[in-house]
Amino acid sequence: MHANRLTALKGALVADALSMPVHWYYDRLALRRDYGRVDRFLPPRNPHPNSILHRSRYTPVSPAADILHDQAKYWGQEGIHYHQQLHAGENTLNFQLARALYRQVVANGRYDSAAWLRLYCDCMRIPGWHRDTYVEEYHRAFFTNLARGKKPEACGIADIHIGGLVPVAALFAALELGGETLVKTVKEHVALTHSAPEVLEAAVSLTRILLAVEAGSGLREAIEQNASGWVGQKKMTQWAKEPDEVVVGERLSPACYIQDAFPAALYLSWKYAGDFSAGIIANAHCGGDNCHRASVVGALLGFANGIPERWLSTPSPQT
């Protein structure tokens, strides 16, 4: 198998860590006021002007569903940064889980959905395991269902957020599988938490793009041939004449919903096909759900180009 598959996962981890302090900033003026040019790993800080944690609630139905632990006290407060306790260069929750998945699959030599679900449940129930203040809707729904007696394999929901794509690069890096065998495994895994057809289709598309690059296709060609149902070459060529923040902001929503978030991530990957650093920096500056778009932008640009050493020096995300 391709010796550099791990660069896909490392690229996603780097892109997530870069975006982390400006995650879910929808006010681009506030983003630049608070952080300037985001071209290096930075720590998050409060207040977060676009935080919606003051409107968010999660009450565990039993101790088995407690996945907020000591972070629960921040829910309902205004201005709280979603990742307030992470350090510069650290990864957000979904990417920490992707690292755990990668390590498990490599250690076991194969993918085992039941083993993963046990590890997932263990990690999320350990106070302080991830130190992230915000946990996405799919985590909350999963553990609510689990606490109500559903089997782990039946606790996922039809979530339509791009966060469902985060495990793809981890599986691609960890498994010595190709073609439809890898596609089937990725789809099986993503469906454990994100059963919405749109997310599964995006996961399959992302996997096929990575496989096409591995087989020798250029990144732009791979995107055009394996994601035409999401965004086409003609449209991307037109968009490339506009500022990124117009494309991901006006043409496409910068929010987390897969129907816009995946095309936005593909577009940024296509535009910056030959420049890892420029692509992940552009993604960060577009705000919105830039961390989860990083699962596409960072993985594709990292795998296609390699990752400049400056992103891999301390502090940096580790696999």
Is the pLDDT reported for residue 24 higher than 60? yes
122: CB partners within 8 A, 6+ apart: none
Measured in whole angstroms, how far is the alpha carbon of residue 101 from the centre of its chain? 14
Is the pLDDT reported for residue 314 higher than 70? no
86: CB partners within 8 A, 6+ apart: 20, 43, 44, 92, 131, 132
The secondary structure of residue 2, as a DSSP letter, is -
Q: Are 106 and 23 in contact (CB under 8 A)?
A: no
pTM given for the model: 0.97
Please give the Cα distance from 73 to 208 (Å, whole number): 42
Is the pLDDT reported for residue 291 higher than 50? yes
pLDDT for res 288 = 98
Nearest to 66 by CA among 126, 151, 112, 130: 126
Is the pLDDT reported for residue 245 higher than 50? yes
- CATH architecture classification, 6-311: Orthogonal Bundle (1.10)
pLDDT for res 1 = 38
Please give the Cα distance from 178 to 49 (Å, whole number): 44
User: Mean pLDDT score of the chain, rounded to an integer?
Assistant: 96
Q: Are 165 and 199 in contact (CB under 8 A)?
A: yes
pLDDT for res 178 = 83
**Confidence grade of residue 177 (pLDDT, cut at 50, 70, 90):** confident
Please give the Cα distance from 313 to 115 (Å, whole number): 32
Where do the domains of the chain lie? 6-311
pLDDT for res 57 = 87
Measured on CA atoms in the order 59, 119, 181, 290, is the torsion positive or negative?
positive
pLDDT for res 76 = 94
pLDDT for res 42 = 98
Tell me the mean pLDDT in the region 163-192.
96
pLDDT for res 316 = 60
Q: What are the b/e assignments for 26-51, b being 16+ CB within 10 Å? A: eebeebeebbeebeebbbbeeebebb
**Confidence grade of residue 213 (pLDDT, cut at 50, 70, 90):** very high
Around Cβ 226, how many Cβ atoms within 10 Å? 21
pLDDT for res 319 = 67
- Phi, psi for 307 (deg, rounded to 5): -120, 120
212: CB partners within 8 A, 6+ apart: 221, 222, 225, 226
Tell me the mean pLDDT in the region 236-248.
98
With H, G, I as helix, E, B as strand and everything else as coil, classify residue 43. Answer: coil
Is the pLDDT reported for residue 306 higher than 50? yes
Q: Are 311 and 29 in contact (CB under 8 A)?
A: no
pLDDT tens sequence across 57-112:
899 999 999 999 999 999 999 999 999 999 999 999 999 999 999 999 999 999 99
Q: Which two tokens stand for residue 282?
A: 């552009």
Tell me the mean pLDDT in the region 103-129.
97
Is the pLDDT reported for residue 261 higher than 80? yes
Is the peptide bond between 49 and the residue preceding it cis, with omega within 30 degrees of 0? Answer: no
Nearest to 273 by CA among 237, 243, 249: 237
Please give the Cα distance from 174 to 177 (Å, whole number): 9
pLDDT for res 318 = 61
